[in-house]
Amino acid sequence: MGEARGFIDWDIAARAAKRLSPPLPKATSDEADAVVGELYRATAQAADHVASLTHLVEPPVTAVTRVVDRAGWIDANAGGMRAVLTPLMDRFSTDNPVGRVSGAVGSRMTGAQLGLVLGFLSGRVLGQFEFFDRPGGQLMLVAPNVVAVERQLKVDPSDFRLWVCLHEVTHRVQFTAVPWLRKHMLDEVSALTAAVDTDPVVLRQRLSGAVGELVRTVRGQGDGAGLMNVLATPEQREILEQVTAFMSLVEGHAEYVMNAVDPSVIATQSDIEARFAVRRRRGGNPLDRVLRRLLGLDAKTRQYVDGSAFVRTVIERIGVDDFNAIWTSRETLPTKDEIAEPERWIARVHA
């Protein structure tokens, strides 16, 4: 393994993340087993509701469903990030001054820094459909986080677990019923890494800008887009806009589905939705808010809101089946501007 591949010590990243992960909610082994069992059942139950609401035909499910703890989530995402970043790391060869700098800085330090990010996120993610670590994809539900949030919100546990599963199963359906979506996302990530400028002078300038963004974030300033937006080249920012529109669509679609289910299915849904929205807006303690802004998670929250409004508006105007034209090809996906103005997408695709 050369210096480029050793730019990040992935073992240290995973160990640091597990060590920095927040304390687990208290539960007996019987209570934990009951939560795991109910999440598996809720996933199966959610599939029927998602099919009914989306009119998307999911092929025989090949994606693995896993109810995991935080350590399991960390391992899966460290593996996925490693697969995504390896092509970029390969460009930092020992012939490149940046490669030599990376060796001097040390992969252990970089691994520890990544571990800090993964550790923080491991306490916040309720579920995820992950397709970088496993080609067939895996639907993960993070049991301790589901329990922690339902206790914090003081909502009905069974209703909340099904509500969360509706969101995550929608993502599974999106990427299996529309198989080209996975390649589209992988292509966008590849384009981002290919556009990275490895010139040490340019990289130094961008790192300087990142430090400035860090200062602004701590002061409560900045636009909340996160460090990636500061480090990005103009070419990458254009790709990021496309990725933002795509993520707004898939997240907004899942948000729409989880809140469009018949009230008889989740009796306390309106209560859950209201309390969860308040939790999102508050964002936690001051350190939590700083980290959220640095990681661009405030921008991700806007993706949920803007994407859900886009999906709801289009479906109300033209119905679910005509909305599903959105999954036809890359050309029918909405742009960032169309997410903000759904009528423009309707006019373009359904002229």
pLDDT digits (tens, 9 = 90+) for 73-84: 999 999 988 887
Tokens of 317: 């105007």
Q: Is 263 helix (H, G, I), strand (E, B) or coil?
A: coil
Domain enclosing residue 51, as ranges = 5-349
Task: Please give the pLDDT value at position 1.
Answer: 37
pLDDT digits (tens, 9 = 90+) for 289-317: 555 555 555 655 677 788 999 999 999 99
Higher-confidence position of 203 and 256? 256
Q: What is the mean pLDDT of the chain?
A: 82
Looking at the predicted structure, is the pLDDT value of residue 96 above 60? no
Domains in the chain, number: 1
Q: Are 339 and 329 within 8 A, CB to CB?
A: no
Q: How far apart are CA 53 and CA 341, in angstroms?
A: 23
Task: Please give the pLDDT value at position 4.
Answer: 38
Which spans in the chain are helix H?
10-20, 29-54, 70-91, 97-105, 107-122, 143-153, 157-177, 180-194, 200-218, 227-231, 234-260, 269-282, 286-294, 297-318, 320-323, 336-340, 342-349
Higher-confidence position of 181 and 222? 181
What is the model's pTM?
Answer: 0.83
Looking at the predicted structure, is the pLDDT value of residue 217 above 50? no
Task: Please give the pLDDT value at position 241.
Answer: 82
Q: How far from chain centre, in Å, is Cα 252?
A: 12
Q: Half-sphere exposure of residue 173, counting CA atoms within 13 Å on the CB side?
A: 26
- Scan for tokens 């490149």, then name that residue: 96
pLDDT digits (tens, 9 = 90+) for 8-63: 788 999 999 999 999 999 999 999 999 999 999 999 999 999 999 999 998 887 78
Q: How far apart are CA 78 and CA 15, in angstroms?
A: 10
Task: Please give the pLDDT value at position 110.
Answer: 78
Q: What is the mean pLDDT of residues 202-215?
A: 50
Kindly indicate the confidence band of residue 219, based on its pLDDT and cuts at 50, 70 and 90: very low
Q: Is 12 helix (H, G, I), strand (E, B) or coil?
A: helix
Q: Which residues of 76-101 are buried (b: 16+ CB within 10 A; e: fewer)?
A: bbbbbbbebbeebbeebeeebebbee
Q: How far apart are CA 268 and CA 288, in angstroms?
A: 28
